[in-house]
Chains A and B, each alone.
Chain A
């Protein structure tokens, strides 16, 4: 893929960072406002997909992206499972809230282990959506071979 016109590239360069930060905001404030790991992860993935569409990729880049996104996806899943298992081994119950009374309710630092679960889900969803995109995009290299 060669990438798109300079107009698209310039706009993508400007908005890409903002989209990424907005996605992180949605993930981190998931326990306070609408959103959370899934929605925020999808927005973060959109940022990566935008840059790949605008600037284009080569076959080798697609391959490395598919490997790294699958590793990140598994890491996100494992982190989420780890938080649940920590609840089992520390608190005595699967998925129990590890520090329920830490922080002030309504502020960023609150809600115990829920923000950490949101971060894990965010990593997993972002990597999963990116890897779906990469797989769809790399079929054209497979058919060329």
Chain B
């Protein structure tokens, strides 16, 4: 188990470099190598997510340099939870992509970028070093810029360029903040920074750096004032990539990084610094309200889902802003349920595009559910889960967010969160109504190939199982992860205790 963090980086990285050599010999080798790497990563993450002892993180020292000196990977229960979320969706999107990418050329390049994006996300989640985190953010971001523009049509290139400009502005903000932090504390290790911050005067400069970091991560997470790139970028990518970008990418690079730095490095809590948390609360509420209302007016299948992603990210950030135990469990559960649910919805959009070749829902006459029963079923069940209907996983995640809000005395956010769950259902059912329901469908359309259906149905099964076993998942998966955030700067003590010996 000690070397798992290294393998989670080394396996996909090795696969990413092997594919450009191998796929020239035989095209399908790219898929085989990528599949083996992703299966290995999934197995390792499942093991870590359930068998890592809470409160005893793995601290892996690169080159055996003790903690404040070298780079250390720190895998605690929060990291292993995020690893699980990432690897599940990455694996099923890959299964979907095997057939979906028939439409495109250059499968070798696709899988190389795909694995590099996984390396970046795994790295962000596991690293215990601020600059290392920036490097992995850049690996993941740059692969995603190329993947958004993978179709190389005019619209996709434009979206990719816009995404790249916005993403780099965010990265530069983060880099500037890292430079300030390094100048002030002379260290880059997260645990060491946390110790220095605890002893530091809370000057305006101290908060300025936090604002820089928060703005950078908010752009990466596409919260409302910073969201303009997402509705262009996510629909332009191939469907498996849209699923990944909306499902896990914005959560890992935006929400996870934000939560880790706020709770564990800065060590702020709602009791000590309510202003920080009120800012998150307002960002979250704005995202929920504005993005939901914008989604109601969308005519493009994938663009509607992209706006929905912004609004659901709003729920997660709202829960972080509430900051008590219930809300944090809700936030983590929503990370899981939204990644499965929105990933599923984007995969169904890929299935429809694969057979019909059309994304504008005003051009559909309805009735596609007769010809594509599995896609239709998956879409409807996924939409119910994203909107938060029982018995799916999405219900419990929203329930816990609302319970947390009520418990902390935030009645208005709780009401808004409950009300906009209904709005969510409203705009998601718009697609059901226009595309899937109805009598007469488009002639000559049949169900998507087996592997694509398999990927979608597997995600549906996971959503239903997550709902059914939620009260088993809560103590085994969500509670230990939420505890990491609740314990705050104790993170630094644990990392030093395990890693400083060398």
User: Which A residues have a C-beta under 8 Å from some C-beta of B?
Assistant: 67, 70-71, 73-75, 77-78, 81, 84-85, 87-88, 91-97
Residues A71 and B20 in contact, CB atoms below 8 Å apart: yes
**A78 with B20: in contact, given A88-B3, A94-B62 (CB under 8 Å)?**
no
Question: Can you report 15 A-B residue pairs in the complex whose CB atoms are below 8 A from each other?
Answer: A67-B24, A73-B20, A74-B17, A77-B16, A78-B17, A81-B14, A85-B10, A87-B63, A88-B6, A93-B61, A93-B63, A94-B3, A94-B63, A95-B63, A97-B63
- Interface: B217 (CB within 8 A): no
Interface of B is mostly: helix
Cβ contacts under 8 Å, A93 to chain B: 61-64
**B10, A81: Cβ atoms under 8 Å?**
yes
Bound form: Cα–Cα A84–B17 in Å? 14
Chain B residue at minimal CB-CB distance from A97 = B63
Q: Whose C-beta in chain A lies nearest to the C-beta of B62?
A: A95
Which residues on B sit within 8 Å (CB–CB) of A97?
63
Query: Are the C-beta atoms of A77 and B17 separated by less than 8 Å?
Result: yes
Roughly how many angstroms separate A67 CA and B64 CA in the complex, as a whole number? 38
B residues in contact with A73, CB < 8 Å: 20
Q: Which residue among B10, B17, B60, B61 has the maximum number of chain A CB atoms within 10 Å of its CB?
A: B17
Residues of B within 8 A of A96 (CB): 63-64
Q: Is B377 an interface residue (CB 8 A)?
A: no
Residues of B within 8 A of A74 (CB): 17-21
A97–B61 CA distance with the chains assembled, in angstroms = 13
User: A75 to chain B: which residues have CB within 8 Å?
Assistant: 21
Q: How far is the CB of A119 from chain B (nearest CB, A)?
A: 16
Interface residues of B in 30-66 (CB under 8 A from A): 60-64
Give the CA-CA distance A94 to B17 in the complex, in Å: 18
Q: Does B13 contact A (CB under 8 A)?
A: yes
Residues of B within 8 A of A (CB): 3, 6, 10, 13-14, 16-21, 24, 60-64
Known A75-B21, A81-B10, A92-B64; further 17 A-B contacts with Cβ < 8 A: A71-B21, A74-B17, A74-B18, A74-B21, A77-B13, A77-B17, A81-B13, A88-B3, A88-B6, A91-B64, A93-B61, A93-B63, A94-B3, A94-B6, A94-B63, A96-B63, A96-B64
Chain B hits for A95, CB < 8 A: 62-63
**Given A67-B24, A71-B20, A71-B21, A78–B63 Cβ distance below 8 Å?**
no
Chain A positions within 8 Å of B60 at CB level: 94
Bound: A84/B9 CA distance, A: 11
| Distance from B149 Cβ to chain A, minimum over Cβ atoms (Å) | 13
Q: Complex Cα distance A125/B63, Å?
A: 23
State whether A78 and B64 are in contact (beta carbons under 8 Å apart), knowing that A73-B20, A88-B6 are contacts in the complex. Answer: no
Pick from A70, A71, A84, A92: contact of B10, CB below 8 A. Answer: A84
| Chain B residues whose CB sits within 8 angstroms of the CB of A78 once the complex forms | 14, 17-18
The interface residues of chain B lying within 8 Å CB-to-CB of A91 are: 64
Minimum CB–CB distance for A136 against chain B, Å: 14
Report B69 CB to chain A, min CB distance, Å: 13
- Which chain A residues lie closer than 8 Å to B14 at the CB level? 78, 81
Quick one: closest B residue to A80, CB to CB? B17
| Measured CA separation A73–B21 after assembly (Å) | 9
Nearest chain-A residue to B13 (Cβ)? A81
Q: Please indicate the chain A residues that have their CB under 8 angstroms from the CB of B63 in the complex.
A: 87, 93-97
Q: Which residues of A contact B64 (CB under 8 A)?
A: 91-93, 96
User: How many angstroms from the CA of A75 to the CA of B20 in the assembled complex?
Assistant: 9
Bound Cα distance from A133 to B132, whole angstroms: 28
Min CB distance B318 to A, Å, is 39
Complex: chain A residue closest to B20, CB-CB: A74
Which 5 pairs of residues, A with B, have the shortest CB-CB distance?
Answer: A77-B17, A95-B63, A93-B64, A94-B6, A74-B20
Residues from chain B with a CB closer than 8 A to the CB of A94 are: 3, 6, 10, 60, 62-63
CA of A118 to CA of B72, assembled, Å = 22
Q: How far is the CB of A110 from chain B (nearest CB, A)?
A: 17
Q: Once the chains are docked, how many angstroms separate the CA of A97 from the CA of B63?
A: 7
Query: A74 vs B111: C-alpha distance in the bound complex, in angstroms?
Result: 14
User: When chains A and B are docked, how far (Å) is the Cα of A92 from the Cα of B64?
Assistant: 9
> Closest A-chain residue to B5, C-beta based?
A94
Q: Separation in Å of the B111 CB from the closest CB of chain A?
A: 13
Closest residue on chain A to residue B108 by CB atoms: A70
Interchain nearest-CB distance for A141 vs B (Å): 16
What is the minimal beta-carbon distance from A71 to any residue of chain B, in angstroms?
A: 6
